């Protein structure tokens, strides 16, 4: 990311993004108090369900299947109670994995657009956790492009995703994406002499290295996409990404000044191309 678009570092949790106005239930209060007592992915997801942060059965199933421990403690020796807490956790490379509550809110906002067979772009994929959940939502006939500018972080995400999805993974570094969709299928090693952003395919996830504002990288990413998630703050909706959003699609990103208050924002593109921007906080 360029300096104008620093990595978004959300608060400890995303409860402020909750769309329900109902008073917290006793179960929700208990789940909040027991934030650091979760000892498994199931316990973590149960607490998110109790707080009404996870509502869709598909999101619940995806988050249960995508074990957060594969993206945290395996790299840094982080204890179980920290891996499964509702807090952002440092994972090395100067990066953090977002709080599960924020992941839950973003997945709920994108769930209807990440239908089976959909194409999804995850910009600033970081740990790879959200990309993994999205890959489960879109299924075998869908496609997720996980775009990350830090090579070592993308490599780390690849190992984590391979572990979580039980896929053999060597390294993405030996593969390069073709510079545009016309050059061949995305995620496959190019012909000799071809050049372009580095990438590799893991099942239905394409790990792509590069900056989202680089035209060659966006050409390699392909599109259009039914859903786009952006994990870094921007002052305004990036025109380059909006152009990749399919009519009827949705983008979710934090909007606001880099050093100021930011709002989790939903951008919907209607069938006629009209764009609606709505802050959910």
Active site residues: 98
With a CB cutoff of 8 Å and minimum separation 6, the contacts of 165 are: 132, 135, 202, 203
Helix 41-50 to helix 57-65 angle (10° resolution) is 150
| CA 260, chain centre distance (Å) | 22
User: How many C-beta atoms lie closer than 10 Å to residue 166's C-beta?
Assistant: 7
DSSP state string for 233-272: -BSS--HHHHHHEEEEEEEEEEES-TTS--EEEEEEE-TT
Q: For residue 182, give the DSSP letter.
A: G
The whole-angstrom separation of Cα 9 and Cα 11 is 7
CB–CB of 245/221 below 8 Å?
A: no
């Amino acid at each position: 990311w360029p300096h104008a678009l620093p990595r978004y570092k959300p608060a400890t949790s995303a409860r402020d993004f909750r769309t329900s106005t109902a008073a917290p239930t006793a179960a929700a209060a208990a789940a909040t108090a027991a934030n650091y007592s979760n000892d498994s992915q199931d316990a973590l997801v149960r607490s998110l369900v109790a707080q009404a942060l996870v509502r869709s059965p598909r999101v619940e199933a995806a988050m249960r299947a995508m074990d957060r421990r594969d993206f945290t403690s395996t790299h840094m020796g982080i204890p179980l109670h920290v891996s499964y807490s509702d807090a952002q956790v440092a994972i090395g490379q100067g990066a953090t994995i977002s709080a599960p509550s924020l992941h839950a809110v973003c997945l709920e906002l994108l769930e209807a657009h990440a239908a089976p067979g959909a194409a999804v772009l995850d910009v600033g994929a970081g740990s790879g956790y959200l990309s993994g959940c999205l890959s489960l939502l879109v299924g075998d006939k869908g496609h997720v492009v996980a775009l990350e500018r830090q090579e070592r972080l993308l490599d780390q995400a690849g190992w984590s995703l391979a572990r979580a999805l039980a896929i053999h993974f060597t390294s993405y570094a030996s593969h390069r994406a073709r510079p545009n969709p016309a050059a061949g299928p995305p995620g496959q090693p190019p012909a000799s002499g071809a050049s372009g952003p580095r990438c590799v395919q893991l099942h239905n996830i394409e790990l792509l290295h590069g900056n989202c504002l680089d035209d060659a990288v966006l050409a390699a990413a392909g599109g259009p996409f039914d859903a786009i998630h952006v994990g870094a703050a921007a002052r305004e909706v990036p025109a380059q990404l909006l152009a990749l959003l399919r009519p009827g699609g949705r983008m979710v990103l934090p909007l606001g000044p880099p050093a100021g208050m930011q709002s989790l924002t939903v951008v919907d593109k209607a069938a006629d191309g009209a764009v609606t921007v709505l802050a959910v906080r």
